[in-house]
A and B are shown apart, each in its own frame.
Chain A
Amino acid sequence: MRKNSIIAVFMALPALTGLTLFVAVPFLIAVFLSFTNLRLGSPLPTEWVGHQQFVRILSDESVLRAILNNVVFAVSVVPIQTALALGLALLANQRLRGVTLFRTAFFMPVVFPMSLVAVVWSLIYAPGVDGALNGLLHQMTLGAWAAKDFLHDPALALPAIILMSIWQGVGLQMLILLAGIQSIPDHLYEAASIDGATAWKQFWHVTLPQLRNTLITTVFITTILAFRLFDQIYILTQGGPNNATTTIMFEAVTSTFRRQQVARGAAITVVFFLMVLGITMVQRRLSQEVVDA
């Protein structure tokens, strides 16, 4: 028995070593750096500055704007994408000829790396009537649509990013929900229809409660992904116009690599982590209550 425990520890060891070296240690370094004023190429000596760095970034206009943008992004993407994914999953779950083809179509964007999504969508968002989206809206409104420069309009840039992120993300969420729907035992539906429950009632009283855990899991994953927003921003808008699309990660990366403000970048990532941690805790709390109820 003792020998088996030792073997089990060794089986976990390679992964634990990797996680320590490449996740835990870097994170501790980030926390440490965030309490200093390290700035590469600065003539001033590096000092321990306590929480000064945090005070500074939390009163910095672009950082606050970044946090707001991330919140807006998450609050828009999570409910919209979850609702759409559930709708698509229900649609794709019908017993219809060729329904798997539609399923494939819905899932297709998921295999697109975000950098490619950004590049393709920048063509869709191209300004003027020659842009695909402008052209489409122009034709649909019979010429009433005034062409917009989506990615350079402070009011439209973030919604444009939101739209393309949902396009890329909804398929995966649909797939997971679809699997959840298909794992609901048939006899529950049979019992419900014997009781005379309509399709709507069946959805409300059988599908949704049975899908609860899957829904919680996917909402959790989508929220965290929403806070990591970076690739689209870096490639398409560089946080602009006027910080309209800046995000926490964009601020952290540009502080570190463009302005060499290592400590500032580290402090921003620590704040970012605390936000993700907070969300996780709230979400766990909520799902716990649902389970208890």
Chain B
Amino acid sequence: MKRTFDRALKTVLSYAVLGLCAAVMLGPVILMLVGSLKPDEVVLKETSSIVGLFTGKFSFENYKDVFVRVDFGRFMLNSLFITTATVALGLVINSMAGYSFARSSWRGRDSVFALVLALMILPFEAIAVPLFYEAVLINWRNSYQVQIVPFIANAFSIYLFYSYFLSIPRELEEAAEMDGAGPWRTFWTIVTPNAKPAFAAVAVIMALMIWGSYLWPLMVTTEETYRPLPVAIAEFYTLPPINWGDILAFGVMMVAPVMIAFLLFQSWFVRGLASTGLK
């Protein structure tokens, strides 16, 4: 009897703590969502109390305003294009490099790999300034390629692929090699189908990184034509007249595609990111 009671109490407590944590984590998200649906003059007032959040008038007026005031569709397409292109190309070349380091032996491989690892700890911020001069020099400012090409090759992605490939049993590849397959064919026909979690992990990490990047596009896009969402929202945030409802509506629309992708492919997100921390 006591045991069942203890267990029930433990379950109730667990739910209480889980619920509290969820409330804290979701609070700002709900605030953004609800605030985006409120008439501007009451956004501040009504989002500061729990009662106010769920009462009063709601409308989609703010969403319409965003499209009237700025070219939101353009920013969205820019972000989608830049992210997709960088991730797709990155998956191809970084996985090949990771495989080359993990499985083949060529002269100087270890020293080159040590250099790649060294680059991994070099944060983007440490090179942003000179990279900007490179971009100016080749006249790439205000373009898509300036936001894509420099980020395709990525030391961290190479490292993730490398450690994943090391964890795959070698027998499969050895069988292929016995049949006379070289590294190129072995990689594309045997290794990649068995490395989906690694591809998912790298895709998720790179996509989140590129989608959210702010410093670089801020430096290289002075025109709206090539501006991605993170820079656009920061601009919109200071664009007079300051209208909180509009800003939050912009935010909701900006995060929606990633949120939907995350909810649809949650297991891939989880499994992918999981395989990275373990190695």
> Chain A interface residue count: which class?
35 or more
Rounded to whole angstroms, the CA-CA distance of A131 and B47 in the bound complex is: 8
- On whether the beta carbons of B48 and A134 are closer than 8 Å, the reply is yes
**A-contact bits for B109-125, CB 8 A (1 contact / 0 none):** 00010011001011111
- On whether the beta carbons of B212 and A115 are closer than 8 Å, the reply is yes
Shortest CB-to-CB span from B155 to chain A, Å, is 6
**B-contact bits for A189-226, CB 8 A (1 contact / 0 none):** 00000000000000000000000011001100000100
- On whether the beta carbons of A252 and B125 are closer than 8 Å, the reply is yes
Given A3-B182, A106-B21, A91–B14 Cβ distance below 8 Å? yes
Shortest CB-to-CB span from B79 to chain A, Å, is 9
Given A15-B94, A109-B29, A123-B44, A114–B155 Cβ distance below 8 Å? no
- On whether the beta carbons of B28 and A114 are closer than 8 Å, the reply is no
> Chain B interface residue count: which class?
35 or more
Rounded to whole angstroms, the CA-CA distance of A257 and B216 in the bound complex is: 13
Shortest CB-to-CB span from A149 to chain B, Å, is 14
In the complex, chain A residues whose CB is within 8 Å of the CB of B130: 25-27, 29-30, 33, 266
Rounded to whole angstroms, the CA-CA distance of A214 and B277 in the bound complex is: 5
Q: Is the interface of B mostly helix, strand, loop or mixed?
A: helix
Rounded to whole angstroms, the CA-CA distance of A146 and B16 in the bound complex is: 29
In the complex, chain A residues whose CB is within 8 Å of the CB of B87: none
Rounded to whole angstroms, the CA-CA distance of A88 and B18 in the bound complex is: 8
In the complex, chain A residues whose CB is within 8 Å of the CB of B1: none
Which of chain B's residues has its CB closest to A182's CB? Answer: B274
Rounded to whole angstroms, the CA-CA distance of A266 and B254 in the bound complex is: 33
- On whether the beta carbons of B182 and A113 are closer than 8 Å, the reply is no
- On whether the beta carbons of B106 and A9 are closer than 8 Å, the reply is yes
In the complex, chain A residues whose CB is within 8 Å of the CB of B107: 5
Instruction: Pick from A42-50, A52-60, A271-279 the stretch touching chain B.
Output: A271-279
Which of chain B's residues has its CB closest to A119's CB? Answer: B237
In the complex, chain B residues whose CB is within 8 Å of the CB of A177: 277
Shortest CB-to-CB span from B153 to chain A, Å, is 3
A23 at the interface (CB under 8 A from B): yes
B268 at the interface (CB under 8 A from A): no
- On whether the beta carbons of A111 and B262 are closer than 8 Å, the reply is yes
Given A108-B25, A116-B251, A273–B259 Cβ distance below 8 Å? no
Rounded to whole angstroms, the CA-CA distance of A117 and B258 in the bound complex is: 14
- On whether the beta carbons of B48 and A109 are closer than 8 Å, the reply is no
- On whether the beta carbons of A18 and B93 are closer than 8 Å, the reply is yes
- On whether the beta carbons of A123 and B233 are closer than 8 Å, the reply is no
Find residues 70-114 in chain B having any chain A CB closer than 8 Å to their own CB. 93-94, 96-97, 99-101, 103-107, 112
- On whether the beta carbons of B123 and A227 are closer than 8 Å, the reply is yes
Shortest CB-to-CB span from B25 to chain A, Å, is 5
- On whether the beta carbons of A116 and B276 are closer than 8 Å, the reply is no
Shortest CB-to-CB span from A216 to chain B, Å, is 10
A130 at the interface (CB under 8 A from B): yes
- On whether the beta carbons of B153 and A16 are closer than 8 Å, the reply is yes
In the complex, chain B residues whose CB is within 8 Å of the CB of A129: 48
B190 at the interface (CB under 8 A from A): no
- On whether the beta carbons of A252 and B212 are closer than 8 Å, the reply is no
A262 at the interface (CB under 8 A from B): yes
Given A224-B123, A272-B126, A11–B187 Cβ distance below 8 Å? yes
A75 at the interface (CB under 8 A from B): no
B129 at the interface (CB under 8 A from A): yes
- On whether the beta carbons of B26 and A116 are closer than 8 Å, the reply is no
Rounded to whole angstroms, the CA-CA distance of A185 and B155 in the bound complex is: 31
Shortest CB-to-CB span from B199 to chain A, Å, is 15
In the complex, chain A residues whose CB is within 8 Å of the CB of B244: 123
Given A15-B97, A130-B45, A276–B123 Cβ distance below 8 Å? yes
**B-contact bits for A131-143, CB 8 A (1 contact / 0 none):** 1101110010000
Shortest CB-to-CB span from B262 to chain A, Å, is 5
- On whether the beta carbons of B125 and A269 are closer than 8 Å, the reply is yes
B158 at the interface (CB under 8 A from A): yes
- On whether the beta carbons of B150 and A180 are closer than 8 Å, the reply is no
Q: Which 9 A-B pairs have the closest CB atoms?
A: A18-B153, A179-B274, A135-B48, A113-B212, A176-B277, A8-B104, A15-B97, A29-B130, A22-B150
Interface residues of A (CB under 8 A from B): 3-9, 11-12, 14-19, 21-27, 29-30, 33, 88, 91-92, 94, 96, 99, 102-124, 126, 129-132, 134-136, 139, 167, 170-172, 175-180, 182-183, 213-214, 217-218, 224, 227-228, 230-231, 234-235, 249, 252-253, 256-257, 262, 265-266, 269-270, 272-273, 276-277, 280
Given A33-B130, A114-B212, A135-B49, 20 more A-B residue pairs with CB atoms under 8 Å apart are A3-B182, A9-B100, A11-B97, A11-B184, A12-B112, A15-B93, A18-B93, A19-B116, A30-B130, A112-B212, A113-B214, A113-B230, A123-B248, A170-B25, A172-B273, A176-B273, A180-B278, A249-B125, A252-B125, A273-B126
